Structure 1
Amino acid sequence: MKGETQHCWQHGIEKEKRPCGPRVNLTFRCVCR
């Protein structure tokens, strides 16, 4: 991420002490050729 977005926000999921079930990972990418 660029600019103020990365500076002002913390991205991530807090760690759990015990497993809480399956996780979903969503990735959005722009592919240009």
Structure 2
Amino acid sequence: MLFSLVKVEIFSSSLEFLSSNSLALNSRSLR
């Protein structure tokens, strides 16, 4: 149970990191 919670936490944080990265790339390519 705890392990799955940790996995979800890591997954959500990595997803957030990827989304912010893609946003930065998009804004950079738009300019």
TM over 0.5: same fold?
no
Instruction: Give the TM-score taking structure 2 as reference length.
Output: 0.22
Larger Rg: 1
Q: Which of the pair is proportionally richer in helix?
A: 2
Instruction: Give the TM-score taking structure 1 as reference length.
Output: 0.22
